Structure 1
């Protein structure tokens, strides 16, 4: 889901990109973890298996010349969501995800159990700024980028909405 709006001051267009769950890749990764567990095999050295509270999401870039503006996060209730970028370009054979393919920094957003519902979520601002800028850089060479979303401490996927706002260069 993408929306474009004119920015009044500079004439640049804003582009709002929403993270979309990639249920087919998530299922393949879950199947890999379950298969190893059933057959009592170990993962490959350096392989990163999908945990039960994680899912794969994607961003589709319709424009590849972007400047990062901000994150838009809606988090209902309490808990923590961690967004980790994946440097891997997925292929139809869905090669295994390796730990070295996970990008730093990560985006962490949370609300504590004792925080009022109308209180904004919390985040590590320097990390999410750097992460957003890195995503904009990677968009120059990609049409799609994948992410691991980890839902922790009571957060459910349907209680979270995250998008990124960019300006088109």
Structure 2
């Protein structure tokens, strides 16, 4: 007899900005600019409209269920996963560490506020499944969130729902 999943069995994890890592990556960009040096081959520098966020996984055996995102106003937000557990104070972020696909959602300037956000559903599904796979081998995962076309971090709420593996 199948037991219906109770709400308590769901894990809804919110993307939380990691201000310390974001600042450290901004300092790297600033340091390179001041010294006139170039980035290392393959190094991925933080762009002015990006922040570093993280997900902390309470358990490792998860299945992706659903994305929740809301954005006041208009704009485009992209979420890029980072495949390796890195720390900018010890190692630089390399482009090869960025996951495909990326998650993208947006609202056009002429769309009414009550219109649901648009997204690339197949990519968002695959991205959520990829995050669940990586959760099996780590307790925290980092992401680059990019805010474009008028989107701002203060206007974003983004979380992801997982169900435990049975």
Cα-to-partner distance string for 1:104-153 (whole Å, 9 max, x where unaligned): 00000100000001000000000000000000000000000000000000
Tell me the number of residue pairs that the alignment of Structure 1 and Structure 2 aligns: 162
Q: Is the 8 A contact 1:88 1:97 kept in 2?
A: no
**2:156 is the alignment partner of 1:164:** no
Q: Is the 8 A contact 1:89 1:145 kept in 2?
A: yes
Mapped to 2, the partners of 1:92 and 1:121 lie a distance apart of 32
> What corresponds to 1:31 in structure 2?
27
**2:130 is the alignment partner of 1:134:** yes
Which of the numbers 104, 110, 114 marks the counterpart of 2:110? 114
**2:120 is the alignment partner of 1:124:** yes
Mapped to 1, the partners of 2:46 and 2:88 lie a distance apart of 18
Mapped to 2, the partners of 1:143 and 1:100 lie a distance apart of 21
Unaligned 5+ segments in structure 2 are none
Unaligned 5+ segments in structure 1 are 1-7
- SS of equivalent residue, structure 2 residue 48: coil
Q: Is the 8 A contact 1:59 1:145 kept in 2?
A: yes
Q: Is the 8 A contact 1:86 1:103 kept in 2?
A: yes
Cα-to-partner distance string for 1:12-68 (whole Å, 9 max, x where unaligned): 711100000000010000000011011111000100000000000000000111010
Q: Is the 8 A contact 2:84 2:97 kept in 1?
A: yes
Which of the numbers 73, 77, 82 marks the counterpart of 1:81? 77
More strand by share: 1
| Backbone CA RMSD of aligned residues | 1.3
Which of the numbers 4, 13, 35 marks the counterpart of 1:9? 4
Q: Is the 8 A contact 1:84 1:107 kept in 2?
A: yes
Mapped to 2, the partners of 1:32 and 1:50 lie a distance apart of 9
> What corresponds to 2:50 in structure 1?
54
Mapped to 1, the partners of 2:46 and 2:108 lie a distance apart of 25
TM-score for the superposition, normalised by structure 2: 0.94
